[in-house]
Chains A and B, each alone.
Chain A
Amino acid sequence: MTATLTRPAPSAGKKKPVLARTRRREAIALVLPSLIPILVLSVAPLVVGIFLAFTDARLVRHPDYGFAGVDNFVRLAGNDLFWDSLRIGLIWTVGVTLLQLAAAMGLALLLNSGLKLQGLTRVLALIPWAMPPVVVAIMWQMIYSANGGPLNAFLGGVGLPDDVNWLGDFSTALPAVIVVGVWVGMPQTTVTLLAGLQQIPAELHEAASVDGAGAWRRFTAVTWPSLRPIVTSITSLNFIWNFNSFSLVYVLTAGGPGGKTMVPVLFIYLEAFKNREIGRAAAMGLVLVVVVVLILAVYLRSQFRDDRAAKGR
C-alpha cells in the first residue's frame, strides 16, 4: 500500500501514457531479461563472427589462431566455387521470391473473389508453412523420385518424357529445388497479400469498373498500387529468408548434383564444419551479408523513389 501512496495522483484532465509516468528503471528491469540472451547469443556472436573473418581460425579442439588481415578475402576473390555458389544462390533466391510472389498473388486474388472452396484452400495453404522443412524435403524427394515417383508417372500418362531424374540431373536440379521453395514460401505471402487486398476499399474497384476498366486494368490501376507497400516489405523479407535458407536444399540435394544446387549458405556450412576452416567461412558469411544488404538497399531505394514519383504526380 505504501508504494501506491507515494505515487503522485495523476492531475485531472491531463492524460499521459501509463509508462510515461514510470521511472526509466522499471522499463529497464522489464527489458533486461531479453537483452541478456540477445547480447550473449546474437549480438556477441555477430561481433565475434566479423572478427573471425580476419583470422585463420580452424575448427579444432584447441584453437590457436592469429590475425590474418584480409587474407581470407583475397583468397576468396580467387575462389571460383564460392562465386559459383553465390550465382546459384541468387538464381535460387530471386527465382523463389518472384515465383512465390506471383503464385501467391494469383491465389490471394482468387481467394478474395468470392469463390467456394476457400476454407479448404486456406487450410491447405497453411500446411506447407507449418511442416518441418526436413519433412517437406523428404516428401518432395518422393514426388521427384526417378523410380516410381508420381511426377514422372503423371508426365508419362500425358505422353511426356517420364524418366527424368529431377533432383539428380544437372539441368533440372535447381529448378526442381526452386519449385519446393515456392511451395514452402507461398502460403505466408498469400496470407499477407490477402490481408492487404481486404483493406482496399471496394469503392475504388467500383469506381474503376464504372469508368469501364477491365479486370487487368483494375489490377494495374487499383490493386497493385494499393498493395505496393506490402509487396515491398514481403519481397524484402522473403528475399532475406530465401537467401539464408539452408534446410530444404541441404536435405533435398546436399548441394548436388555436381554442385548445381550449392547455395552459399550450404557452401559456408561445408567450409566451416567439414573443411573446418572457420576463419574462411566467416569471411564468406561477411561477404554474403554485404551482398544481401546492398541488393536490399538498391531495391528499397528504387521502391522509395517510385513512391515519391507517384506522389509528386
Chain B
Amino acid sequence: MRVLVRPAQYFALALYILFLGFPVLWLVSASVKSSGELNSLTVSLLPSEWHWDNYSEALDKQGLIRSAANSLIVALASTALSVLIAVPAAYVLARLKGKVRAAGVGWILVSQVFPVVLIILPLFLILRTLGLADNLAGLTLVHTTYMLPFALWMLQGYVAAIPVELEEAGAVDGASRLTVLRTIVFPLLAPGVVATAMFSFVSSWNEFFFALVLLQSPENYTLPITLTMFVGGEGKVALGPLAAGAVLAAIPSIVFFGILRKKLTGGLMAGAVKG
C-alpha cells in the first residue's frame, strides 16, 4: 500500500493542476481561434490555426481602449491616494500600543464584514449629491476607501518588521522624528509600499460592483463593465473578441501578482497567522 502513496499523490496533484489551469488555457485558446472553429461542434483544445485578429477586433470594439484607459486612471489615482493616506496611519498603527491600535485593528476587521450592498446605497446618494456619481473621480474615491483597510493591514505588517531599535538609535543621535522617518523608516518600508501599491492597483483594476452601480455613461465605463457589455449586446456573442478582451484585461493583474507572489504570501501571512 505504501508504494502507492506517491503515485496517488501525483494523480491528485494532476487533477488540481487540471482544475486550476484548464479554464485559463481554454480562455487563451479561444482568444486565438477563428469564429468558424469557435462555433463548430467539434471541440479542440488548441486552435487549428492561430488567429490574432480577435485581439485587433476586440480593441476596435465598443470603446475597449477607452475603458482600459478609464480603468488605468482610476487604478493609478486610487492606488496613489490610498498608499499616501495609509503609510502614516500604518506607522502609527504598528508602533502605538493601546486604544488607538485596538480601534484601528478592530476597524480593519469590521470593514471585512461591512456588507457592500448596504454601504453602496447611501454611498450612491452621497456621491450623487456631490455630483460624483457617474464620474471617474467619484469611483476613485470609493476605490480608495475600499482598498484602505487592506493597505493599512499590509503596511502595518511591514512597519512592524522594522526593528524599533533602529529608530531609537536615530533618535539618540539627535535626529528629529521627521528625519528618523525619512532616513530610516521610509527606505526600509519602500519594498512594502511597492507591494501594497501593486496589490491596490490590482484590486481597483479588477473591481466590478462599485463601477457597475456608479457609472452610467458608456464613456466612463471601466474595463470590467465594458467586458460584460460584450456578453450581452446584439443577440449573438462574438466569442473570439470576447475571449481576447478578457485575456487583455487579466494580463496586468496576473503580471503584478507574479511579481508579488513571494512578498504577498509572506506579508499577508504575517498578518493572518500571527493575527
Contacts and interface: CB of A to CB of B under 8 A. Distances in A.
Contacts of A59: 124
Q: How large is the interface on A (under 10, 10 to 19, 20 to 34, 35 or more residues)?
A: 35 or more
A176 B95 CA distance: 47
Contact of B258 (A31, A123, A186): A123
Interface in B39-63: 39-43, 45
B228 A135 contact: no
B142 A139 contact: no
B168 A110 contact: no
Interface in A7-37: 7, 10, 15, 17-20, 22, 26-27, 30-31, 33-35, 37
Contacts of B268: 191-192
Nearest to A39: B145
Contacts of A269: 117, 213
Contact of B13 (A121, A127, A143): A121
Contact of B171 (A18, A27, A127): A18
B19 A183 contact: yes
A158 interface: no
Contacts of A120: 17
Interface string A25-65: 01100110111011011101110111010000001000100
B123 A45 contact: yes
A117 B17 contact: yes
Given A42-B114, A134-B228, A135-B227, A199 B88 contact: no
Given A17-B97, A44-B126, A37 B176 contact: no
A148 B38 contact: yes
A70 interface: no
A129 B257 contact: yes
A121 B118 contact: no
A131 to B, nearest CB: 5
Contacts of A135: 27, 224, 227, 246-247, 249-250
B121 to A, nearest CB: 5
A268 interface: yes
A289 B113 CA distance: 8
A247 B91 CA distance: 34
A258 to B, nearest CB: 19
B102 interface: no
A224 B85 CA distance: 40
B213 A292 contact: no
A40 to B, nearest CB: 8
Contacts of A131: 24, 206, 250, 253-254
Contact of B92 (A27, A40, A52): A27
A243 to B, nearest CB: 8
A132 interface: yes
Contact of B113 (A26, A133, A251, A292): A292
A295 to B, nearest CB: 11
Contact of A37 (B145, B228, B239): B145
Contacts of B253: 130-132
B55 to A, nearest CB: 15
Interface residues of B, number: 100
A93 to B, nearest CB: 13
B23 A113 contact: no
A230 B273 contact: yes
Interface string B192-233: 000000000010011011001100000000011001100100
A125 interface: yes
Given A34-B85, A251-B231, A134 B208 contact: yes
B263 interface: no
A125 B257 CA distance: 11
A124 B20 contact: yes
A138 B117 contact: no
Contact of B272 (A15, A38, A63, A233): A233
B13 A195 contact: no
B40 A148 contact: yes
Contact of B209 (A27, A183, A233, A247): A247
A204 to B, nearest CB: 17
Contacts of A272: 117, 120-121
Nearest to A246: B209
Interface string A188-205: 000110011001000000
Interface in A170-212: 183, 186-187, 191-192, 195-196, 199
Nearest to B170: A18
Interface string A85-114: 000000000000000000100110010010
Contacts of A273: 213
Interface of B: 5, 9-10, 12-13, 16-17, 19-24, 26-27, 30, 38-43, 45, 84-86, 88-89, 91-93, 95-97, 100, 104, 107, 111-126, 141-142, 144-145, 148, 152, 164, 167-168, 171-172, 174-177, 180, 202, 205-206, 208-209, 212-213, 223-224, 227-228, 231, 239, 242-243, 246-247, 249-250, 253-254, 256-258, 261, 265, 268-269, 272-273, 275
14 contacts: A27-B100, A31-B88, A40-B126, A48-B122, A48-B126, A131-B250, A134-B224, A135-B27, A139-B246, A149-B43, A150-B45, A269-B117, A272-B120, A288-B115
